[in-house]
Amino acid sequence: MARPCGVVFERWVTPEDADAGRAVLDGQPVHIHDMQIEGDEFREGREIARCHNDRTILGVPLIREGTAIGVIVLRRTEARLFTERQVALL
């Protein structure tokens, strides 16, 4: 279900078909070159990216005692992957 642009959520549980949700569920970074043209694997993430004009997405899970407890997501409005160094720093 697509959400209207500009809606702010106090608490948002991310689904597995969004980049942040996948990073939490898999416990690994999710790095996508151009989210706006992603296929059905990231339907929710694609709609959010189109709404906000995001292109490149990097989601890195926050891990505590081997369990993902959250995620940090960086987004770019241009389709340009983050460097290996930037990913490692995050």
What are the domain boundaries of the chain?
19-89
Asked if pLDDT for residue 69 goes beyond 50, the answer is yes
What pLDDT score was predicted for residue 20? 87
Mean pLDDT of 21-27: 90
pTM equals 0.81
Confidence of residue 10 (pLDDT cuts 50, 70, 90): very low
Q: Per residue in 42-60, pLDDT tens? A: 888 888 899 999 999 999 9
- What one-character-per-residue DSSP string does 14-61 give? PPTTSHHHHHHHHTS-EEES-GGG--GGGHHHHHHHHHHT---EEEEE
Q: Indicate the fold that domain 19-89 takes in CATH.
A: Beta-Lactamase (3.30.450)
Contacts (Cβ under 8 Å, ≥6 apart) of 44:
14, 15, 17, 18, 21
Asked if pLDDT for residue 13 goes beyond 80, the answer is no
Query: In the chain, what is the straight-line distance between the N-terminal and C-terminal CA atoms, in Å?
Result: 30
CB 90 within 8 A of CB 74: yes
What pLDDT score was predicted for residue 44? 83
CB 58 within 8 A of CB 13: no
**pLDDT: is 68 or 7 the higher one?**
68
Asked if pLDDT for residue 12 goes beyond 70, the answer is no
